[in-house]
């Protein structure tokens, strides 16, 4: 039923969390697809032992060059053959009934399945507390308009997901060299076409790591590069009327203009009209943001 995709780079010391979580699953109809992003810490030796010892179905693929997590995940998605896919980070752990809950949810969706691309659930932190906000209601079947554009305050905190493989393959993660583009921008593009079913059930524990992609220290240019591409991808298919109408797009427009002071890409840039609109939004928001920064 499930493809479980894990991209890993020099995470031999944390992968056992994922392995043990998978071993302990009450529902075992899954294949673990590991994409090794050219690790140098003998990750393969560890996985080779697991493949010998365990009855679990494990596929191992090693990339010839380090390409970054998004491309490694996208490579893994190409290998997926089952109907549903879960992306698991190389340092995650999750409760034993996770896959059973997701299987039961997809089964119960029934006739609605054609409208739903993903099942979203909550995430624990290291202390066992739920990270960020719960969903406004349980079993919340929601469009992008409802989940993002109509919200006065954006939902905070990590969320975890199982996806219809066919849909996820049509929307590979955005990727650019030397920067981090939030996966949320890919999820948003999917949500504009398909609903998500959101459950107030925590399954995953996201462990803090200073070496993680999000928590690692980045230069000002690298940060600006990430903001540039994130805001570009978030705005490029959006009409000017929608940008004017919604606060969410105002924030993206602000980040797009702000990041251009440090980085820009001549091949990937907004149209002149959208840039001018973004600049006007930036100038309108700047005084208040400066005031909030000094107060």
* Average pLDDT for runs of 10 along the chain of length 295: 98 96 98 98 96 95 96 98 97 96 94 86 95 96 97 91 97 93 96 97 87 64 96 97 98 98 96 98 95 80
* Among candidate residues 213, 243, 260, the one where a domain is terminated: 213
DSSP 215-268: TS---HHHHHHHHHHHHHHHHTTS-HHHHHH-HHHHHHHHHHHHHHTT---SSS
**Residue 284 three-state SS:** helix
pLDDT of residue 232: 98
Which residues partner with 3 through β-bridges? 31, 85
- Asked if residue 295 belongs to a domain, the reply is no
pLDDT in tens, 223-279: 999 999 999 999 999 999 999 999 999 999 999 999 999 999 999 999 999 999 999
108 and 178, same domain (yes or no)? yes
If asked whether residues 201 and 246 sit together in one domain, one would say: no
- 238, 279: one domain: yes
The pLDDT value given to residue 40: 95
Both 101 and 176 in one domain: the answer is: yes
Q: Which domain holds residue 277?
A: 217-290
Total residues belonging to the chain? 295
Helix (H) or strand (E) holding 104: helix 98-109
How many H helices and E strands in the chain? 11, 9
Do residues 227 and 177 share a domain? no
Question: How confident is the model at residue 217, as a pLDDT?
Answer: 67
- Do both 168 and 240 map to the same domain? no
Is 225 inside any structural domain? yes
- Do 152 and 248 lie in one domain? The reply is no
Same domain, 224 and 108: no
Domain boundary among 213, 237, 256: 213
Total number of domains constituting the chain: 2
Of the three residues 213, 231, 265, the one that is the final residue of a domain is 213
pTM of the prediction?
Answer: 0.92
């Amino acid at each position: 039923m499930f493809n479980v995709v894990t991209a890993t780079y020099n995470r031999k010391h944390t992968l056992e969390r994922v392995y043990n979580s998978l071993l302990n699953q009450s529902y075992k109809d899954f294949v673990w697809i590991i994409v090794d992003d050219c690790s140098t810490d003998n990750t393969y030796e560890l996985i080779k032992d697991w493949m010998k010892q365990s009855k679990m179905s494990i596929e191992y693929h090693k990339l010839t060059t380090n390409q970054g997590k998004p491309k490694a995940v996208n490579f893994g998605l190409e290998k997926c053959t089952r109907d549903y896919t879960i992306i698991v980070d190389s340092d995650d752990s999750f409760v034993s009934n996770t896959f059973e809950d997701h299987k039961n949810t997809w089964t119960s969706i029934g006739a609605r399945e054609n409208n739903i691309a993903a099942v979203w659930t909550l995430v624990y932190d290291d202390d066992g507390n739920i990270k960020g906000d719960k969903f406004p209601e349980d079993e919340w079947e929601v469009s992008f308009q409802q989940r993002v554009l109509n919200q006065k305050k954006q939902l905070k905190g990590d969320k975890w997901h199982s996806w219809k493989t066919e849909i996820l393959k049509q929307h590979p993660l955005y990727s650019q060299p030397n920067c981090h583009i939030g996966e949320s921008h890919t999820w948003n593009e999917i949500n504009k076409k398909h609903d998500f079913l959101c459950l107030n059930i925590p399954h995953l524990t996201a462990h803090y790591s200073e070496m993680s992609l999000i928590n690692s220290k980045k230069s000002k240019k690298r940060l600006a590069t990430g903001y540039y591409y994130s805001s570009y991808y978030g705005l490029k298919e959006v009409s000017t009327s929608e940008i004017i109408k919604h606060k969410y797009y105002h924030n993206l427009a602000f980040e797009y203009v702000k990041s251009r002071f440090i980085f820009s890409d001549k091949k990937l840039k907004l149209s002149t009209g959208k840039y001018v609109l973004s600049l006007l939004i930036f100038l309108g928001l700047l005084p208040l943001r400066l005031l909030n920064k000094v107060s």
